[in-house]
Amino acid sequence: MFEQFGKLLYEAGQYMVEEMEHPKLYLVRHEKAAQKEKWFKIVFRVAVDIETEEVNCECGLFEHSGIPCAHSLKVMLHLGFRTLPARYVLKRWTRDARDVLPPHLIRYQKDQVVLACRTYRHTSLQIACLEIQALGDANVECYTEVMHQLARLKAKVEPMSN
């Protein structure tokens, strides 16, 4: 999405802004309108509400795909917006989009307890056991101690596992 946004921001440079009703309504016109096909739309109306930092273009790209269009971006640049208003950064385009998962993938959600995932528990236990095994292989004394501690641990955990 960052790449798509970059393309739209680059495309915004091809438009000229004409103020119709400052600061509420603007016409955004493609600078090479004469070179475009007849069916190609070259003028877009962009409405702005400065107080809420809401920019609405008639092309409807934001409403359709959730990414601001080049026309809206051009008007934002024209008005001196330093940052993209938070309203135009949808959660589904961010790294936190994992929080919006279908039910069968909910266990991977960011705020879910990872211990509830059996695969995670299995993998982390296996890694810890392999580390203990490597330590126990070091010499006879380590082997004896590891086996003693594993027997104690097994006796303690076995009743809880039932």
Token reading at 19: 């103020």
Do 74 and 12 contact (CB within 8 A), yes or no? yes
Flag whether pLDDT at 111 surpasses 80: no
Token reading at 162: 């039932």
Domain ranges in the chain?
2-99, 114-161
pLDDT in tens, 38-84: 788 889 999 999 999 999 999 999 999 999 999 999 999 999 999 99
Token reading at 138: 């070091």
Q: What counts of helices (H) and strands (E) characterise the chain?
A: 5, 4
Strand partners, 25: 21, 47
Q: What is residue 131's predicted lDDT score, i.e. its pLDDT?
A: 95
pLDDT in tens, 145-161: 999 999 999 999 999 98
Q: What is residue 113's predicted lDDT score, i.e. its pLDDT?
A: 56
The answer to whether the bond into 23 is cis (omega within 30° of 0) is yes
28: left (phi over 0), alpha (psi -120 to 50) or beta: beta
Task: Report the alpha-carbon distance of residue 79 to residue 99 in Å, rounded.
Answer: 34
pTM of the model: 0.59
* Unique residue bearing structure tokens 């392999």: 130
Do 30 and 36 contact (CB within 8 A), yes or no? yes
Lowest mean pLDDT segment, chosen from 10-24, 44-58, 96-110: 96-110
Flag whether pLDDT at 8 surpasses 80: yes
Token reading at 43: 């003028």
- Going by pLDDT thresholds of 50, 70 and 90, the confidence category of residue 115 is low
Alpha-carbon distance values, 51 to 1, 46, 63 (Å): 27, 16, 20
Share of the chain above pLDDT 90, in %: 62
Max distance between CA atoms of the chain, in angstroms, equals 87
